[in-house]
Chain A
């Protein structure tokens, strides 16, 4: 089974509108971390936001928020007030375990290509 599933290969959003990118995950660990990265056409992966499995509040970073629904194993990224510069690939990722023991292996989804329309 896939550890991370992103079911939206491509999304379009009007400038200044909000958009939600879906992510579901699969793990039997109690401790895990969820991450979202943005990859512009330049190729570099840019960290956006992090949510820990024990965090009770949804994470927020500026215009980015993470809608964390633990029982449903979903970690959707919400981008508010979209900008043209938000056009990029977006990847959801997960790290399992207690960090040190599990090392730094991240599991990534296949990504969602977001296009912001002026």
Chain B
């Protein structure tokens, strides 16, 4: 079974631009979550989609948005990029939402904002 696939692996943008990151979950997984990882901050929850509906949203500005398609693939969009948006963006999928269900992570997209 293929793992969680994130594209692109690396991205360089300039301030003010917008960016779209893509995530393909493991086949059969209906939940997709996004996390931002910066050095010293750990992983910060962005949002989670389940069956095309956003179920949870973290404490991020409205410039961060996402969506999930009927095939469970998800995209994350960041508009009007700021220098502080430079981070590793991790996508994770899981088959359900039970308390013991672990997240399966992709390798991430490293975003650099210049």
| Contact A104 B104, beta carbon cutoff 8 Å | no
A95 in complex: contacting residue of B90, B99, B110, CB < 8 Å: B99
Interface size on A, residues (CB 8 A): 31
Closest Cβ of chain A: how far from B33's Cβ, in Å? 5
A98 to B96, CA, bound (A): 12
CB of B62 closer than 8 Å to a CB of A: no
A108→B103 CA distance, assembly (Å): 12
Near B by CB (< 8 A), chain A positions 79-118 give: 91, 93, 95, 97-100, 102-111
- Closest beta carbon of chain B to A51's beta carbon, Å: 9
In the complex, the answer to whether B105 meets A100 with C-beta atoms within 8 Å is: no
CB-CB contacts below 8 Å: B66-101 with A: 88, 90, 92, 94, 96-101
Shortest Cβ gap from A58 to chain B (Å): 15
Which of A14-22, A28-36, A63-71 participates in binding chain B? A28-36
Interchain CB contact (< 8 A) of B100 among A46, A52, A100, A110 = A52
Contacts of B50 in A (CB 8 A): 103-104
Q: Which residues of B contact A62 (CB under 8 A)?
A: none
Contacts of B94 in A (CB 8 A): 104
- Is there a chain A Cβ closer than 8 Å to B58's Cβ? yes
A47 touches B102 (CB 8 A): yes
Q: Does A11 contact B (CB under 8 A)?
A: no
Minimum CB–CB distance from B29 to chain A (whole Å) comes to 11
12 contacts between A and B (CB under 8 A): A33-B100, A43-B108, A44-B106, A50-B102, A95-B99, A102-B56, A104-B55, A104-B92, A105-B45, A105-B48, A106-B33, A110-B42
